[in-house]
Amino acid sequence: MAGEHLVPHGPALAARPEPAKKKESDMAVTTAPISLEQETNPWEAQAARFDLAAKTLNLDAGIWKVLRYPQREIIVHIPVSMDDGSIEVFTGYRVQHSTARGPGKGGIRYAPEVSLDEVRALASWMTWKCAVVNIPFGGAKGGVICDPRHLSQGELERITRRYTASLIEFIGPEKDVPAPDMNTNEQTMAWIMDTYSMHMGQTITSVVTGKPVNIGGSRGRREATGRGVSVVTDQALKHLNMSPESTTVIVQGFGNVGSHSANLLWEKGYKIIGVGEYDGALYNANGIDISELMEHKARTGAIHGFAGADAFDKDELLTAKCDVLIPAATENVITSLNAERLQCRILVEGANGPTTMVADGILAEKNIFVVPDILANAGGVTTSYFEWVQDRMGYFWTETEVNQRLERIMVDSFNDVVQYAVNHNVDNRIAAYMLAIDRVAYTTKQRGIYA
């Protein structure tokens, strides 16, 4: 079983002897009021949570400094011949936050709003996410500033291949393994794999994950993040003595993660009463048939006009009454502006960074049980790990085997985080950060600082 190959972690750092005296000016956790712009900066949010978890762990000051910042940040400018004969130059990023526990791992997103701060934050979240589920990867992330809606397939391929060629010395099965993310997919990964393989002079399938199954992709990978969300939702209900049949769910975002989360929960008997997208939402107090909605979106390209639910305000959907709220779209949808109005009992974060740190405090006061992003959406990277393992050994598992291994890791990780929260008297998010930092810090101290 895959779990037998996972890297073990050491005893909790909090239980170790008191470290050398810290420089409080370097290690202070900021508590001063912040602006909304600061609140929604993903890198600042990640760093603040890291600092709080590290302080609670009583983390060694030197290791604190090492883990707080990325190991490497790469900026590339990508000249591309467009379909009309003109040349455009796109900016791309790849940030490698930590490779202490193994190769960097993280997706590549294509979007107009991609920024270095966003990619930095996502890379660090990947470090903590991989450590929370205890798989032997570090954290990385990439992005290209572009709008795929206005680019042809040929233009997207040329952007992808040139971006890959620009990063060729920094990625690889033992260095950094990209995957799909926002506005990238299996085809994007196939282009990256082919470009990398052409440069290496041989086919190397394990350079990326999230590929088509026929060229080394893993069965179950496409649904994996949504499946992980559904598994931890089950565990949250079990923890709170609730049953799926009497549980109402709202899902914000109906892309890959949101649609598969909703569908898997619907199949288990949960009542999905609301579904939101960036341009509108649907609501039906009696429940939405998710299989029909998925078919409708596949046919029309949108959730609008679906006969099985009424149109609803997308912003109001987040604060509508439900038992489980699953933000599964993008960052910063739950902030100080709307957190007080949330009416859910459980928040399961299918997206990366959907809740700001200021909102965390409000949710804690409201006694909302939060399953944080670095745990809730780790199903994708866990199955990416399975894909990487299968590629490297040249032997592929059935989808049932993949799903069973994924469920076991997600259940064990949920229990680890909840127990950590109890043991250290912190909320689930800080517990997840503490557990992850503990594992990465322990490995970093074992390896030492090369000089």
Catalytic annotation, residues? 141
Dmax over CA atoms of the chain, in Å, equals 65
Rama region for 121: left / alpha / beta (φ>0; ψ in -120 to 50; rest):
alpha
Q: How far is CA 408 from the centre of its chain?
A: 19
Whole-angstrom distance, CA of residue 144 vs CA of residue 112: 8
Token pair for residue 416?
């680890």
Whole-angstrom distance, CA of residue 438 vs CA of residue 12: 6
User: CB within 8 A of 53, min separation 6: which ones?
Assistant: 430, 433, 434, 437
Token pair for residue 32?
């001063």
CA angle 438, 135, 389 (to 5 degrees): 160
Whole-angstrom distance, CA of residue 355 vs CA of residue 262: 20
Residue 401 parent element (H or E) = helix 399-424
Token pair for residue 311?
């149109």
Pairing of the two strands 324-327 and 280-283: unpaired
